[in-house]
Every structure is written in structure tokens, then in C-alpha cells.
Structure 1
Amino acid sequence: MVRLTAAGDKAAADGLEVSILRFSLPGIGLAGFLGFGLAGMSDKVFKMSQTWLSIAAVLWIVLLAVLFFVARPAIKAFRDGDAAARGRIMMATGISHLILVVTLYLMIFKPGA
């Protein structure tokens, strides 16, 4: 869908906006709250003072900010005819993917635990 948006397909931009607003933002928000809830109920196995959990929390907040404050407005601008918004969409997509990969690494290997 991002490739179609980069090619200038307005219907793809509408679909991407729906995908982000209805699925990505709520899903990522819920996953973060559930993850931190589970960490809090873990019989003191996981603490926010652990490096990997603190970094994951910061990355989670940054990811939500990128999606809400960069991707969402860029998609709306592109849908309204601003061709320059394609670059911001692609940038937000790349940043989001990078954050997700780093967070996945932190959750699997737990460096500093």
C-alpha cells in the first residue's frame, strides 16, 4: 500500500489512512499498555529500571508520536493533493519500521536484564 501511495494513488492513501487510524494506532497503543501491565504484574521479574524495558517504553512513545503527528497528517495532506507529502509518508513509514525492529530486538534479547 505504501508503494501505491508513493506512486500517487489517492485511493491507496485513503486506505493507508484508515489502516493507521483504525488499526495501527489503537493496536500499538493497546500492545504497549498490555505489555507494561504484564511487566508490572510480573512478581518483580521485570522492573522499569531495567535498561531494555525503559528503552522500549521510550521507543513506544516515539512510535505513537511518529504515527500520530507525522504519518497521519502527511497522509491527509497527500489525500488532499499535496504531492510533497509522499516523502513524509515514506519517512514516517521507515522510522516506524526501524522502531519496531529495535523494539522487537529489545523484547527478544533483553539487553541489560
Structure 2
Amino acid sequence: MAWVLGAAGPSASAIALLPTLDSNTDAEFYIFSFRRSDAAHADSNTTITPQYCGSLSNWVDAEHNGTDIIITPTDDFYGSGVDKVEVKIKRDLVTGDGFFARLNVLVEP
């Protein structure tokens, strides 16, 4: 995960690099933001998938459709080789009182 987030190395602390969730700025969308290194994004063995749900179960992949889910990468936002990815998820896609988001990373051997 540290590699995906653009940490300096595998043993470097990545706490300050963790994804964030903004539920206050936009009345229509939740905004989930994460860092993504160019190396991880380009690696064919690495899958980086933002996900969301309303109850910490039944996670749904956030896939850009331009209306209900809008995914916007900003190249080199955090410096050379580390992009910012903003995932806007329409609030009415989630039923119930909660909203949860996570970054699912799978690295195949």
C-alpha cells in the first residue's frame, strides 16, 4: 500500500499519505481522495480500486460514469510521479445512515 500511495520506501511511514473522505464540502457527493504513484498505476500486476458501501459489507467498486461517480486524476499533484485521484460518489447511491470508502489494492505475483 505504501508503494501505491507514493511513500519514499517500503519501510517509510505512510500514515500522512492515507486516503481522505470529505462528507461536508459537497451536498450532492461524498468525496474520497487518494494518492496514486505513477509506478503503481502503470504496473500491469497491480489493481487499484476505490470502493464504497453503507455498512462495512457488500463493498461496491467505484467506477466512473460521469454522473453518479466521477473519478478525476490530477497528474503529479503531490509531486513528480504521485497523482491525486478524487472520487466523487453521489450520496443517494448509498442507503442507510453510514458511508464508508476504502482503497482496495491487489498486487498479483
TM-score (norm 2): 0.25
Greater helix fraction, Structure 1 or Structure 2: 1
